[in-house]
Structure 1
Amino acid sequence: MPPRRSYDQFCSAARALDVVGDRWTLLIVRELLGGPRRYTDLHADLPGVSTDVLASRLKDMERDGLTTRRRLPPPGAAYVYELTPRGRELLPVLLALGAWGSGELGERRPTDALRAHWFALPLLRSLAGEGGGEGEGLVEVRLEEGDFHLHVGAQEGPVHGDGPAPRTPDARLSMDAGTCAAVARGELDLAQAVRAGRVEVTGDGAIAKSLRDV
């Protein structure tokens, strides 16, 4: 494998960009925050990336200690990629980057791809913010574009996942993509959306009660 390119600067920001500054790397991390993924799944949820670039980035990330690759036991017998603890430490980086970029989101363009779980990190950021509930909990989100779930406050393991929650969630949120986009743009937080009747909240967990009580 060719040596990693470097800015050759004695600066922690430059060193970090040596590792994650290449195009697609942080978006691969975004996907792997949802748990182990097969190569084909990653490629499907990263529209626009070529197979060669994706394979190259995954090799670089494995070399740099951000991901590992393992083979699933039968009957799956497929290889999956997953984040290492160091790779998962990029979660606050992606949350901060999403907050910084919220003003750039604007309205969805005709050429913009969309996956429902791409709203996971903005919603996680809003849930962790003022008035959005605190502590740990499982939250299921229902959109017309698809369902996904969030592991709020989890210190390890997946942050989000596709489909309904694997068990009874502490809170279930039903909304449309326009509301999710408004949260992602920073125009309103979940508490405001609930008060405005744009989000239906069900469930008996602390997060659901906190959202209903604001």
Structure 2
Amino acid sequence: MRSYDDPCGVARALDAVGERWALLVVRELLLGPKRFRDLSRTLPGISQNVLSQRLRELAAAGVVRRRKLGPPASTSVYELTEQGADLEEVVLALARWGSRRPVPAGRDLSADALVLALRTTFQDGPDCHLELRLDDDTFTATIDSGKFSIRRGAADQPHAVLATDPRTLRSLVFLGAPLEEAERSGALSVTGDRGVAERFTHCFPRPSA
């Protein structure tokens, strides 16, 4: 990696995470560890060679580490170090800033990228507890006293469960697609309180430019 050779904190930060794809790798690890193949799947625009290189560079910078899981998994995952986790607010701030930029046509958001979009656009909503099943990923979303939180994993006694894919959920929360239409097409399944599910999709207005 080339260095800016500049003592400014911004330059020193970019020395560590300023290479192309580096912060997107961090984004994909903010909600927890992932296997190499899962990172490759959720970052389809990056070659496996470049992904391997970025992971090595981020590990050398103390941002990412590789950890071996014990049986029965017996596989390796990549996760953020404590320093890497400190980048969360940086990534969220960039997401808020970028949400006002034009949306490019092409690939869909990954599940983790969509979760960050929900976090950065949440405005307000009634208290609720939901489970979001986005393809192979499951998240617990909670609104409590006007504060929104979301984490990876199944919800305990959710008010509603939405089973769909990132593209459909994005169209519901950001493009105003009707819940009923997504259900009729088979792209969405809602169990539990449909009213809660409907209100949840209206809590994330797209920011104006």
Both structures adopt the same fold (TM-score exceeding 0.5): yes
| Kept in 2: contact 1:33–1:160 (CA 8 A) | no
| Kept in 1: contact 2:96–2:121 (CA 8 A) | no
Structure 1: tracts of 5 or more residues without a match = 154-158, 184-198, 203-207
Aligned counterpart for 2:155 among listed residues 142, 162, 167: 167
1:24 equivalent to 2:21? Answer yes
Task: State how far apart, in whole Å, the 2-side matches of 1:19 and 1:171 are.
Answer: 42
Matches within 5 A, 1:1-214: 4-106=1-103, 109=105, 111-127=106-122, 129=123, 131-132=124-125, 139-141=130-132, 148-150=138-140, 160-161=151-152, 165-168=153-156, 172=160, 174=162, 176-182=169-175, 200-201=195-196
Shift of 1:124: 1.5
- Tell me how many residue pairs correspond in the alignment: 171
| Kept in 2: contact 1:142–1:172 (CA 8 A) | no
Shift of 1:172: 4.6
Identity value in percent? 37
- 1:8-67, Cα deviation, whole Å (9 max, x unpaired): 112111111111110111110111112111111111110111111100110111111111
Alignment partner of 2:19: what SS?
coil
| Kept in 2: contact 1:47–1:113 (CA 8 A) | no
- 1:118-163, Cα deviation, whole Å (9 max, x unpaired): 2101212234x5x3579xx9753356x676425779xxxxx643xx
TM-score, with normalisation over the residues of structure 1? 0.67
| Kept in 1: contact 2:132–2:141 (CA 8 A) | no
Letter in 1 for 2:110: R
Q: Tell me: CA distance 1:7–1:141, structure 2 relative to 1, closer, same or farther (3 Å).
A: same
Task: State how far apart, in whole Å, the 1-side matches of 2:161 and 2:126 are.
Answer: 13
TM-score, with normalisation over the residues of structure 2? 0.68
Shift of 1:75: 1.9
Alignment partner of 2:74: what SS?
coil
Task: State how far apart, in whole Å, the 1-side matches of 2:102 and 2:126 are.
Answer: 25
Task: State how far apart, in whole Å, the 2-side matches of 1:96 and 1:36 are.
Answer: 22
Shift of 1:170: 5.9
